[in-house]
């Protein structure tokens, strides 16, 4: 993702949101990503390091190389890793479509919340595949804003979410990419593709998720594109504000919120797939 194409922007608040998000969802999304000691792992698109720190903590004996196209993001990520006292991450600036690594360099590749921002996610996966050793695995985690539903229902809240989806599409991304991970990895030539959906379900009996996910992660993310939404989408300020209010409304005693992330794994098999040219 290039600097100006990141739909959520590069502010401090956004950086904080990404860190909150990573903390709340750690167990749900990351706890089963365990690489053997001595593995070399490429994190493609590390951003500000919100996932890097989890990956590095969960795999203290793996050697992680984290790349991103944005130097500013890399500097923040380095700061987070240094602060956490972790020594198993090397940072490197690079474009996911032409990374400076030879074929067969890595045992594993990890890609989290990156494909959603790319106009050509399949091509990115095709470019990553040969960087794996044969038998090496890729892990991809993405959300899907079309998976969000809630109680009380609200067409205004839905409209606000639709605005975010549209803004991301206008920037070449796809906020509904989670559901597509299976066909994407297959088309990019990976074998043994397995997708595991991870639903966040929050009601009043789970106050940590209400606070950490509905408020600090999802609604903060929608709210964060407010100015752009009102500039570019067909939504009035009044409807937008009602939509955000109705998203917060789902946090009350009788509210419910559901959202699904998708985690996919695939293997670089011996048999060349469709993309054997890659």
* Residues contributing to the site for a copy of itself (CB under 8 A): 144, 146-147, 149-151, 153, 176, 179-180, 182-183, 186-187, 193-197, 199, 201, 203-205, 253-256, 258, 260
> Residue 124 or residue 193: which is nearer to a copy of itself going by CB?
193
CB of 261 to a copy of itself, least distance (A): 11
Q: Residue 139 in contact with residue 44, Cβ under 8 Å?
A: no
User: Is the backbone peptide bond immediately before 152 cis, with ω within 30 degrees of 0?
Assistant: yes
Closer to a copy of itself by CB, 65 or 174: give it.
Answer: 174
* Locus of tokens 């229902």: 153
Q: How far is the CB of 43 from a copy of itself (least distance, A)?
A: 25
Structure tokens at 150: 């809630």
Task: Provide the minimum distance between the beta carbon of 121 and a copy of itself in the complex, in angstroms, as a whole number.
Answer: 13
Cβ proximity to a copy of itself, 15 vs 160, nearer residue: 160
Q: Which of 184, 206, 208, 209 is nearest to 195 (CA)?
A: 184
- Which helix (H) or strand (E) element contains residue 258? strand 256-267
84 vs 63: CA distance, rounded Å: 16
Q: What is the smallest separation between the CB atom of 25 and a copy of itself, expressed in angstroms?
A: 16
**DSSP letter at 233?**
S
Residue closer to a copy of itself, measured from CB, 113 or 190: 190
């Amino acid at each position: 993702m290039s600097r100006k194409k990141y739909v959520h922007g590069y502010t401090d608040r956004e950086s904080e949101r990404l860190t909150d998000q990573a903390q709340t969802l750690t167990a749900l999304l990351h706890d089963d990503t365990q690489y053997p000691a001595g593995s070399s792992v490429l994190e493609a698109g590390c951003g500000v390091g919100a996932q890097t720190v989890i990956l590095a903590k969960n795999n203290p004996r793996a050697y992680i190389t984290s790349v991103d196209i944005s130097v500013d993001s890399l500097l923040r990520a380095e700061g987070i890793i240094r602060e956490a006292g972790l020594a198993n991450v090397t940072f490197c600036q690079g474009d996911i479509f032409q990374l400076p690594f030879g074929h067969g360099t890595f045992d594993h590749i990890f890609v989290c919340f990156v494909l959603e921002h790319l106009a050509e996610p399949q091509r990115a996966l095709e470019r990553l595949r040969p960087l794996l050793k044969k038998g090496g695995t890729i892990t991809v985690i993405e959300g899907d804003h079309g998976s969000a539903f809630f109680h009380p229902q609200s067409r205004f809240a839905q409209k606000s979410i639709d605005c975010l989806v549209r803004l991301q599409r206008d920037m070449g991304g796809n906020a509904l990419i989670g559901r597509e991970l299976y066909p994407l990895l297959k088309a990019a030539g990976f074998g043994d593709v397995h997708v595991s959906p991870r639903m966040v379900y929050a009601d009043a009996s789970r106050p940590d998720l209400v606070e950490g996910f509905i408020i600090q992660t999802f609604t903060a993310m929608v709210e964060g594109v407010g100015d752009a939404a009102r500039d570019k989408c067909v939504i009035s300020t009044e409807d937008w504000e009602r939509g955000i209010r109705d998203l917060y409304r789902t946090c009350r005693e009788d509210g419910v919120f559901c959202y699904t992330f998708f985690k996919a794994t695939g293997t670089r098999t011996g048999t060349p797939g469709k993309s054997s040219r890659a």
